Structure 1
Amino acid sequence: MGETTDRQYVEYGCHDRIATIALNRPEKLNAASDEVVRQLMAALRRFDADPDALVAILCGRGRAFCSGADVHQRQLRSREELERLGGPQGHGANAADLLFQSVNSKPVIAAVHGHVLGLGLALTLDCDLIVAEAGTRFQLTETSRGLGAARHWAQFHFRGAGAFGDEVALTGRFFTAEEALAANLINRVAPKEKLMESARELAVSVAANPPLSVRAIIRTRRWYLDRYAKEAAFQQAPMRLYLTEDFHEAALAFKEKRKPRGFKGR
């Protein structure tokens, strides 16, 4: 829907053994379209194969890290297309286990700012370490959009933020970087304008260790998180929430910039 497929939506660079992977769709607050997801997967695979890169920092250009999935493209598909694809994602653009598909055992640090919503939150929580700029606002949008938040719920519990995660998953409310740090959901809160500096300091500390030692930890951590998150998603999958009237109404309300007209539980 108006997406230029030859544009570079994700930037990759490597300096002093630390790779930087940056979402680069700032005019849409880095909303993740199918093409953004595909390019991000390619960048993560490039990092995985890059012999010069030991650690990656995942960040976003512009005013926000990621405002979530591109609703206009991914959530307003026809019912027939949603059934054929098995969800809102396009072919080769499933972000649910994006990092696990692309990176074997190298550590990825999320450096987030502005807004971190929906798909952006899930991607952040899949990363191994998380640094957020002071004042960053997070939201699990899947609950209010009718998609369910089983995977997010599992990510919160895996990180030791169970009670906080229960509340956020059931209410879908915004929460701040400071709340996330207090709940043990993220690792650090960086001062304003110091996000990348703080993330790089953390990356340097990780990269100073023997690479195979670090990768043994990452490999183990990812295996357990992936298993836990997939088991949670498996419980939700039979409901096929992406085909419900409530999901369609929530997506339409977002497009039309209005409040939903009432959910029907079907």
Structure 2
Amino acid sequence: MNEAATYAIEDGIATLTLNRPERLNAFNNDLVSAALAALERAAADPAVKALIITGEGRGFCAGADLAGIVPSAEGINAAMRDLYNPLILAIDRFPKPTVSAINGVAAGAGVGLALATDIQVAARSASFVLTFGPQLGLVPDLGVTWFLPRAIGRARSRALALLGDKLPADKACEWGLIWQVVDDAECLATARMIAGRLAKGSAETFFEIRRLLDAAETRELDAQLDDERETQIGLITRPAFAAGVANFLGKRTS
């Protein structure tokens, strides 16, 4: 695999590590291509039960490396269409649970990368900053405008995007942007612990939970209830439900 990203599997957990620490793991085409290849590999591997995304060194992802992008509308269009947007969709549609271990700054597109995962664990020194509008004259991308208001609401999203202020990890957690903040030395270990818990569950069920929660954003209650019912009917015949019932009943009688 391209050294711009590394990939390893241990105990059923795949770890995708952005590996451009000298650039705070800023995106370039090589890194995104490597990440896409790793996601495809992990999705197809039955030994992988959960996925962690993290960064090497002191940064999670500093957004796009402007030195590595063709400075033209055509070049940016092609990179976003063929690489960057497919990366976010691949994470959002990944068939197994995903966890981000945000070990340092997440800036610009790095915020979208973090928020695309199911569960976010951040180091206490980590921060989030949207550099697009205030510094670059661009709109947030890589799904930031989709994920952000759903997580923290209209007022906070607009202020972060328009002002470009740095949001510390503790405040991000308080606002509901991420799940958990831990001491820096515990970030990856905590993400691994969470991924290990997820790996013991049914990936199919977790995928349906994610799908239903996202669908609820734009649905009426009756449509959501119908979808819940139909999904339950499909899942109730699966081995995970039978195993869960047997385990539950076993605990009650022990």
Same fold by TM-score, threshold 0.5 exceeded?
A: yes
> What is the letter of the counterpart of residue 202 of structure 2?
P
Aligned pair partner of 1:135 in 110, 122, 125: 125
CA deviation vs aligned residue, 1:143-186 (integer Å, no higher than 9, x gap): 12111127423311222444321210111111110110011000
Aligned pair partner of 2:10 in 7, 12, 15: 15
Structure-2 residue corresponding to 1:197: 189
Aligned pair partner of 1:33 in 28, 31, 41: 28
Give the 3 Å change call, closer, same or farther, for CA 7–201 of structure 1 in structure 2.
closer
CA distance in structure 1 between the partners assigned to 2:113 and 2:32 by the alignment: 11
Structure 1 or 2: larger helix share? 2
Gaps of 5+ in 1: 1-5, 226-266
Q: Work out the number of aligned pairs and report it.
A: 214
Contact 2:95/2:204 (<8 A) preserved: no
CA distance in structure 2 between the partners assigned to 1:175 and 1:211 by the alignment: 32
Structure-2 residue corresponding to 1:177: 169
Partner SS, residue 95 of structure 2: coil
1:213-228 map, 5 Å: 213-221=205-213
CA distance in structure 2 between the partners assigned to 1:222 and 1:12 by the alignment: 28
Contact 1:105/1:218 (<8 A) preserved: no
Structure-2 residue corresponding to 1:149: 140
Structure-1 residue corresponding to 2:79: 89
Structure-1 residue corresponding to 2:203: 211
CA deviation vs aligned residue, 1:213-249 (integer Å, no higher than 9, x gap): 1122234456678xxxxxxxxxxxxxxxxxxxxxxxx
Aligned pair partner of 1:186 in 134, 155, 178: 178
> What is the letter of the counterpart of residue 36 of structure 2?
M
> What is the letter of the counterpart of residue 207 of structure 2?
R
Partner SS, residue 158 of structure 1: helix
TM-superposed CA distance for 1:29, in Å, is: 1.2
CA distance in structure 1 between the partners assigned to 2:8 and 2:49 by the alignment: 12
Contact 1:68/1:116 (<8 A) preserved: yes
The share of aligned pairs that are identical, in percent, is 29
TM-score normalised by the chain length of structure 2 = 0.77
- Which of the pair has more CA radius of gyration? 2
CA RMSD of aligned residues (A): 2.2
Contact 2:2/2:30 (<8 A) preserved: no
Name which of structure 1's ranges 34-43 and 161-170 shifts more when overlaid on structure 2.
Answer: 161-170
Partner SS, residue 106 of structure 1: coil
CA distance in structure 2 between the partners assigned to 1:27 and 1:86 by the alignment: 23
> What is the letter of the counterpart of residue 63 of structure 1?
R
Note if 1:113 corresponds to 2:103: yes
Name which of structure 1's ranges 135-144 and 203-212 shifts more when overlaid on structure 2.
Answer: 203-212
> What is the letter of the counterpart of residue 137 of structure 2?
G
CA distance in structure 1 between the partners assigned to 2:50 and 2:208 by the alignment: 14
TM-superposed CA distance for 1:34, in Å, is: 1.0
Structure-2 residue corresponding to 1:168: 160
CA deviation vs aligned residue, 1:95-131 (integer Å, no higher than 9, x gap): 2341323644212111112211111111111111100
CA deviation vs aligned residue, 1:76-109 (integer Å, no higher than 9, x gap): 52x4xx2x3463727732x234132364421211
TM-superposed CA distance for 1:212, in Å, is: 2.0
TM-superposed CA distance for 1:36, in Å, is: 0.8
Gaps of 5+ in 2: 218-254
TM-superposed CA distance for 1:210, in Å, is: 2.4
